[in-house]
Amino acid sequence: DEENPLDSLPGPERKPIIGAALRFVNLNTREMFIKLREYHAMYGNRFVVKIFKRRVLHLSNEKDAEVVLSHSKNIKKSKGYTFLSPWLGSGLLLSTGFKWHSRRKILTPTFHFNILKSFLEIIKDKSCDLVKRLEEYRGEEVDLMPVISDFTLYTICETAMGTQLDSDKSAETKEYKMAILQIASLLLNRLTKVWLHNDLIFDQLTVGRKFQKCLKQVHSFAHNVIVERKRQRASGRDYSVVAEDVFGRKKRLAMLDLLLEAEEKNEIDFEGIMDEVNTFMFEGHDTTAVALTFSLMLVAEDDQVQDRIYKELQGIFGDSDRRPTISDVAEMKYLEAVVKETLRLYPSVPFIAREITEDFMLDDLNIKKGSEVVVHIYDLHRRKELFADPEKFQPDRFLNGELKHPYSFVPFSAGPRNCIGQRFAMLEMKCVLSEICRSFRLEPRTKGWRPTLVAEMLLRPNEPIHVKFIKRKQS
Ligand code: HEM
């Protein structure tokens, strides 16, 4: 084990050969989250955890985050992400090098303003359905996560693949929904259990077999949707305008249509389209679901914030019950600050991990090829040097002037590998929150209560979050 400058940094005790391995044996995801916060408090914004030969540098200050995230060469995801590859293949999240560059170029126009405008039509419909679903609770407490997850899953499925999971009751569709929900949690479970990392062991166990079954269902569903959409395009119908679904609703543009256009120009092949569709389904569903759940929790317990949101919406819509346009959404400045402040406190992606492929300098510290670097967005967002009274929910901080540093707030990451779906996500979150806040007054189950947190790949509440939705006016 050769000398490495990282060994000069603080961190948990490095025993000969095993390093700090014993400290991490048998920790569940909640304990792991707490342990890393403890290390951050003990060792500061740069510390190293060495396990056997693996050195992981943990960072949580804005200057270091800038150097790492803006690096143009060190864009390779770290080993932890490899468990996702049977599902996402070499889709945008996982790919690197030339493949990543060319895919990023093809996919960027998918999130262009004009295309987002057409996705807003789907988001509005799904938001309306969600409001109706919340009405059915008649002011009783709602366990948010499952209800909100359905909303984000239905929304991404229709925008990504043009498929309606909610109204299509076929067995295949139901199976797909179950499989998508299960597959992500099986993967995260694997990530946090060292003995499941080995493929041979994993594949033999029930959890591994369940994973394979879900994987097959998810892949075969996506495959069939793509083939069907391709067939329709080949038959000469302009799918986005003419075709109608089984309910007589006009089919709308989906991300898949743009990928099929790219295929017609030989920019991507069938397998590539599968990978990207699966990647959108994975990245675009849970991330927004947790962010919306935390937003609703925070809004429900802050009367002042809720009044200001409502006032802003009244200013835009008056007493009309028309649905929001893209320029209405752009006008929701206070609501945007609420979403940002939620993402500051509860960043859906709490850390970003890279495998270093080229030596680089962090000030005077040489970070060598082969090391891993983790940027802790959760701790960065809570630095008191950057955000006064950091534990407090204060949306105003995003209205009053500039951030102290461009890398002090990075819920969507930053630099070349930032989130390609961030404008879509903000549009979706603002649209649905505005529809909810126009229709209901929110109340928490217990004021001041906060869930404990677990960080798998996403930051999640460890207990259910309950909110009451009290109808504002009878329709
Ligand atoms: C609140 C919602 C969201 C948050 C907080 C979020 C956050 C992030 C972050 C932090 C990354 C960088 C991950 C890394 O470097 O390891 C990322 C990447 C990505 N996100 Fe999002 N995301 C959200 C929603 C979405 C949506 C709705 C989509 C798709 C429609 C999406 C698609 C992607 C893709 C494809 C990447 C990989 C980009 C690349 O590597 O070039 N995300 N996201």
Digit-coded pLDDT (tens) for 39-96:
999 999 999 999 888 899 999 999 999 999 999 999 898 887 888 899 999 999 999 9
Question: For residue 430, what are its two tokens?
Answer: 């603002």
Show me where the domains of the chain are located: 101-348+387-471
Nearest CA to ligand 1 atom 3: 287
Ligand 1 pocket, 465 CB below 6 A?
no
> Hey, which of 193-202, 443-452, 466-475 has the most confident mean pLDDT?
443-452
Query: What is the CA(154)–ligand 1 centre distance, in A?
Result: 18
Ligand 1 pocket, 411 CB below 6 A?
yes
Ligand 1 pocket, 56 CB below 6 A?
no
Ligand 1 pocket, 122 CB below 6 A?
no
Ligand 1 pocket, 39 CB below 6 A?
no
Predicted TM-score (pTM) of this structure: 0.94
According to the model, what pLDDT value does residue 394 have? 96
- At 153-166, the pLDDT tens digits run 999 999 998 888 88
Q: Which residue has the higher pLDDT, 241 or 199?
A: 199
| CA dist., res. 140 & res. 143, Å (int) | 10
Nearest C-alpha neighbor of 212 from the set 199, 223, 225: 199
Binding site as annotated, residues: 419
**Which CATH class, in words, describes the domain spanning 101-348+387-471?**
mainly alpha
Ligand 1 pocket, 92 CB below 6 A?
yes
> Which residue of 77, 281, 283 sits with most ligand 1 atoms within 8 Å of its CB, as the best mutation to test the pocket?
283
Displacement of CA 238 from its chain's centroid (Å): 32
Binding site as annotated, residues for heme: 419
Nearest C-alpha neighbor of 396 from the set 462, 464, 282, 302: 302
Nearest C-alpha neighbor of 424 from the set 323, 274, 312, 285: 285
- At 279-333, the pLDDT tens digits run 999 899 999 999 999 999 999 999 999 999 999 999 999 989 999 999 999 999 9
Nearest C-alpha neighbor of 45 from the set 21, 27, 65, 31: 65
Query: What is the CA(428)–ligand 1 centre distance, in A?
Result: 14
Residues paired with residue 193 on neighbouring β-strands, in sequence order: none
Nearest C-alpha neighbor of 303 from the set 472, 431, 447: 447
Ligand 1 pocket, 352 CB below 6 A?
yes
Ligand 1 pocket, 420 CB below 6 A?
yes
Question: Could you identify the atom of ligand 1 that is nearest to the CA of residue 352?
Answer: 16
> Which residue of 287, 343, 344, 431 sits with most ligand 1 atoms within 8 Å of its CB, as the best mutation to test the pocket?
287
Q: Which residue has the higher pLDDT, 157 or 189?
A: 157
| CA dist., res. 174 & res. 154, Å (int) | 12
Query: What is the CA(379)–ligand 1 centre distance, in A?
Result: 19
Query: What is the CA(317)–ligand 1 centre distance, in A?
Result: 31
Query: What is the CA(284)–ligand 1 centre distance, in A?
Result: 7
Query: What is the CA(289)–ligand 1 centre distance, in A?
Result: 13
Q: Which residue has the higher pLDDT, 116 or 192?
A: 116
Phi and psi angles of residue 54, each rounded to the nearest 5 degrees, phi first: -85, 120
Ligand 1 pocket, 65 CB below 6 A?
no
Displacement of CA 324 from its chain's centroid (Å): 24
| CA dist., res. 273 & res. 285, Å (int) | 18
Ligand 1 pocket, 417 CB below 6 A?
yes
pLDDT band at 246 (very low <50, low <70, confident <90, very high): very low
According to the model, what pLDDT value does residue 173 have? 84
- b (16+ CB within 10 A) / e for 98-122: eebeebeebbeebbeeebbeebbeb
Radius of gyration from C-alpha coordinates of the chain:
23
Could you give the C-alpha distances from 66 to 6, 250, 375, 406, in angstroms and in order?
A: 19, 45, 10, 8
